Amino acid sequence: MKTENLIILLICLVLGGITGMAQEGQQNGKERPNILFIMSDDHAYQAISAYDDRLLKTPNIDRLAKEGIRFTNASVTNSICAPSRAVILTGKHNHINGKIDNHMAFDTTQVTFPQLFQKAGYQTAMFGKLHFGNSPKGVDEFMILPGQGNYINPEFITKEGGRVTKQGYVTDIITDMTLDWLKSGRNAEKPFMMMYLHKAPHRPWWPRADKFKEFYQKEFPLPETLFDDYENRGTAAKTAEMNLLKHMKYSHDSKVFPQTIAEMGGVEPEVPEFDMGFWGPFGRATAEQQAEYRPVLEAINADFKENWPSMTDREKMIWKYQRYMQDYLGTISSVDDNVGRVLDYLDESGLAENTIVVYTSDQGFYLGEHGWFDKRFIYDESFKTPLLVRWPNVITPGTTEDEMVQNLDFAQTFLEAAGISAPDDMQGESLMPLLEGNNKEWDRDAVYYHYYEYPSVHMVKRHYGIVTKDYKLAHFYYDVDEWELYDRKKDPNEMNNVYNNPAYADVVEKLKAELTKLRIKYKDSPELDQKYIDIYKEKMK
């Protein structure tokens, strides 16, 4: 080949390479967006002021609602931690991805959406709580909490497979890692997909010492249904073990010292020989850190000693509710401050413009509604989850969206936003039409739900069901065979099961048919129900 021709060939190759690179970094001529997925653990929408400002102000999380979209009908397919995370990562229901409960191992041969991002040239990272029993795939960088993790001086699993203990408060530490990575771990040539996953506000609720002090001074309004007696509900609501008065612990939850309870004739000897070294996250704290908590702990204990003996059950319920809210909301206040730090950094660095920021929780949570804490049920407080998304120049700021969307939809949404094709066997729907304001392209009118973990902590019975904007129909099975129907418009607090009310006979018939169709659509079946019962029994032996 002549030198001249060789030079022309080389120029063509170089130019071709550059164009190829440009295509990889772009989508339809635009830079591919970054994704910052923020998820907290057990964060009730009732505790985000963009949804409800009666309990707490969350000015930073609210920025996402103001500058983006707020979904009022976002829900999960199975209201429990690890299963929700498996749904998010695989874009498939739990009966397909196999992680039906917190005990089952996640099969890591499955495709998760971060792997697809990594393959498509994104830089990927994950910091915080995964709760999978194994490490994530498809992330270039990660630091995750083992299991539930700890609030104080938490341990982290590193990418190299080792463990490191970090001194301090978990919410601050996870945020520091996230910010460090954004500032210096990032490759500016590539778009990123980052999962920033909080442990807070998961039980046992330990706020940072200053928030503990601040929130102990506060009193919160009582929920309308705090004294629910579960009349007109099924066996499942009556037998669940998540009632504040009956099942919340004075020691583990309300922070009365085990010694104090024993002295007062209560019965919660949970700590071996009352060794405070074993007392929840407090046991992990250094003497110096413990000293910061002491004054409030002493005040709680003095109050308990003075007032508990003469309290009626009603007063005990209110006392526990106030202690619960002080601690639970105190942990969220730190989440909000830290989300603010990250949003500020996105603004300062100029990254905000091309970054999709999502705030959600792995499920909803009871904040005393129906007398409960925890989650698991298909009923609203547990089934619904907060979902806020900001994406400048795509989402109209301040949008409120009432369509029924689910955590099942996240993977396909992110993939579409990044111009990566989603595998055909994912079961959600991309939320892109709703984000772009093309609501006419959205035609879902019902969602499917299936909860499995029973018998287990909190004893919520197995059930599956269908939810439309108007009704909720659920079938509780395993050791019962009971159906429940709620009229969501007339009975938003879900106080009356109208399944046997003749006025709803047509609704029941129609919804049962739709539920059967949904089970077929998502490939769930009585055979699978039985298979998972058998696996569960074997596992729990």
Q: Would you tell me which residues interact with ligand SGN (CB under 6 A)?
A: 41-42, 80-81, 102, 131, 148, 202-204, 374, 457-458
Q: Does position 374 bind Ca ion by CB under 5 A?
A: no
Token reading at 94: 């739990």
Question: Minimal distance in Å, beta carbon 240 to Ca ion?
Answer: 16
Distance CA 54, CA 80 (A): 25
Question: Minimal distance in Å, beta carbon 330 to Ca ion?
Answer: 18
User: From the list Ca ion, ligand SGN, none, which binds 112 (C-beta under 5 to 8 Å, kind-based)?
Assistant: none
Distance CA 403, CA 409 (A): 12
Order across the sheet with 163-165: list the strands: 163-165, 155-158, 141-145, 123-129, 192-197, 34-40, 355-361, 387-390, 69-71, 399-401
Question: Minimal distance in Å, beta carbon 161 to ligand SGN?
Answer: 23
User: From the list Ca ion, ligand SGN, none, which binds 8 (C-beta under 5 to 8 Å, kind-based)?
Assistant: none
User: From the list ligand SGN, Ca ion, none, which binds 102 (C-beta under 5 to 8 Å, kind-based)?
Assistant: ligand SGN
User: From the list Ca ion, ligand SGN, none, which binds 140 (C-beta under 5 to 8 Å, kind-based)?
Assistant: none
Strand pairing report for 355-361 and 471-476? unpaired
Question: Minimal distance in Å, beta carbon 436 to ligand SGN?
Answer: 33
Distance CA 344, CA 171 (A): 17
Phi, psi of 453 (to 5 degrees): -70, 85
User: From the list Ca ion, ligand SGN, none, which binds 384 (C-beta under 5 to 8 Å, kind-based)?
Assistant: none
Which residue lies nearer to ligand SGN by CB, 102 or 430?
102
Q: Which of 362, 381, 453, 484 binds Ca ion (CB under 5 A)?
A: 362
Which residue lies nearer to Ca ion by CB, 32 or 450?
450
Which residue lies nearer to ligand SGN by CB, 80 or 256?
80
Phi, psi of 141 (to 5 degrees): -135, 135
Phi and psi based region of residue 373 (left: phi greater than 0; alpha: psi -120 to 50; beta: remaining): beta
Q: Half-sphere exposure of residue 11, counting CA atoms within 13 Å on the CB side? A: 6
The residue type found at 466 is I
Question: Minimal distance in Å, beta carbon 79 to ligand SGN?
Answer: 9
Which residue lies nearer to Ca ion by CB, 179 or 200?
200
Q: Which of 36, 42, 346, 483 binds Ca ion (CB under 5 A)?
A: 42
User: From the list ligand SGN, Ca ion, none, which binds 101 (C-beta under 5 to 8 Å, kind-based)?
Assistant: none
Which residue lies nearer to ligand SGN by CB, 77 or 497?
77
Token reading at 292: 């910061």
Which residue lies nearer to ligand SGN by CB, 33 or 371?
371
Distance CA 444, CA 74 (A): 13
End-to-end CA distance of the chain: 75
Token reading at 242: 């998540």
Strand pairing report for 471-476 and 399-401? unpaired
Which residue lies nearer to ligand SGN by CB, 42 or 380?
42
Q: Which of 81, 139, 248, 508 binds Ca ion (CB under 5 A)?
A: 81
Answer for the pair 335, 293: CB distance below 8 angstroms, yes or no.
no
Q: Does position 453 bind Ca ion by CB under 5 A?
A: no
Question: What residues make contact with Ca ion under the rule CB under 5 A?
Answer: 41-42, 81, 362
